[in-house]
Amino acid sequence: MSDAIDEILDAVAATAPEVRDGLAGRRVYESGENPSGEQQLEADVYADELLEERLLDIDAVGSYASEERDDVVEDDPDAEYHVAADPLDGSSNLKSNNTMGTLFGVYESPLPASGRDLVASGFVLYGPITTMVVARDGGVTEAVLEDDGTRQVVDEDLSLPEEPTVYGFGGRVPQWTDDFAGYVDEVEDELKLRYGGAMIGDVNQVLTYGGIFGYPGLEGRPEGKLRLLFEGHPIAYVVESAGGASSNGERSLLDCEPDGLHQRTPLFVGDDGYIDRLEDALGE
């Protein structure tokens, strides 16, 4: 029996081919900026409008929020679920034709909600093939998305490899704190660098090859770049459900309470050993 969460997942899967098909003609920047002050591509706005329409059409979805909108779009405050999305994560990769994705979190409380209120999350990766990773009920699946929006599951129990292989950290090296730079000196002696500029693509490398991805707090920007509600919580839910760990440098991202819809956070996900070492390094 299809439950409301299945309806939400099916809606994201059905929208993804349209988002992907719409990328080619939408590589130009709109005049506006998103609430985080970042330039908006036509593709960002297009993906956001499609997702809002499809998700709010579902009776069990009471509200929709996204990186591209100042405020929550409320449809029914008493409905069971509330969806937060990054409609096109890594959209600056569109100009260079590199990977991008759609990231979403399904919360059972009004937004902005606690990470512990997530009941499902996942992402669509627009790579050489379009795949969809979903975390729910403590497990993670990966599916290939067909052009008709149907999902062909290719991994029923996706889990982080035991042996870490790759790392990727964002931000400019001169802006890294000394503690973080010292940690990276160790990591780069042990793992291979993989950084592509779209969190979903970089995290999918970690889910596939093992390792750690992060975007740290920077000198003069201790909150970092990535958003807690739209990126931190959903990706932490996926990676922790796959047997990994997450952190804002101190604790699981799922235990970080948002004090606003667009709050930024330092973000680290991946192998629990590397996450533990990171927290030790930043806690010194």
Kindly state whether residue 225 participates in binding ligand AFP, applying the rule CB under 6 A. yes
**DSSP type of residue 270:** E
Closest distance to ligand AFP from the beta carbon of 284 (Å): 25
Kindly state whether residue 204 participates in binding ligand AFP, applying the rule CB under 6 A. no
Q: Which residues of 107-136 are buried (b: 16+ CB within 10 A; e: fewer)?
A: beebbbbebebbbbbbbbbbbeebbbbbbb
Closest distance to ligand AFP from the beta carbon of 60 (Å): 28
Kindly state whether residue 215 participates in binding ligand AFP, applying the rule CB under 6 A. yes
Kindly state whether residue 175 participates in binding ligand AFP, applying the rule CB under 6 A. no
Number of residues lying near ligand AFP (CB under 6 A): 13
First to last CA, the chain: 51
Tell me how far apart the alpha carbons of residues 88 and 27 are, in angstroms, rounded to a whole number. Answer: 12
Closest distance to ligand AFP from the beta carbon of 171 (Å): 6
**The residue to which tokens 């004090």 are assigned:** 259
- For ligand AFP, which stretch binds (CB under 6 A), given 49-57, 72-80, 159-167, 193-201? 193-201
Side chain identity at residue 161, one-letter code: P
Kindly state whether residue 170 participates in binding ligand AFP, applying the rule CB under 6 A. yes
Q: Which residues contact 9 (CB under 8 A, 6 or more apart)?
A: 120, 122, 132, 134, 151
What x/- string results for residues 140 through 169 when contact with ligand AFP is judged by CB under 6 A? ------------------------------
3-state DSSP of 204-241: HHHHHHCEEEEECCECCECCCCCEHHHHHHHHHHHHHH
Strands (E), 39-94: 39-41, 61-66, 73-74, 81-89
Closest distance to ligand AFP from the beta carbon of 215 (Å): 6
Which residues from 84-103 bind ligand AFP, rule CB under 6 A?
89-93
Closest distance to ligand AFP from the beta carbon of 42 (Å): 14
Nearest to 141 by CA among 129, 150, 152: 152
Closest distance to ligand AFP from the beta carbon of 4 (Å): 28
C-beta closer to ligand AFP: residue 62 or 232: 232
What x/- string results for residues 34 through 73 when contact with ligand AFP is judged by CB under 6 A? ----x-----------------------------------
Helices marked H in 133-212: 178-190, 199-209
Tell me how far apart the alpha carbons of residues 140 and 208 are, in angstroms, rounded to a whole number. Answer: 13
Which residues lie near ligand AFP (CB under 6 A)?
Answer: 38, 89-93, 170, 197-199, 215, 225-226
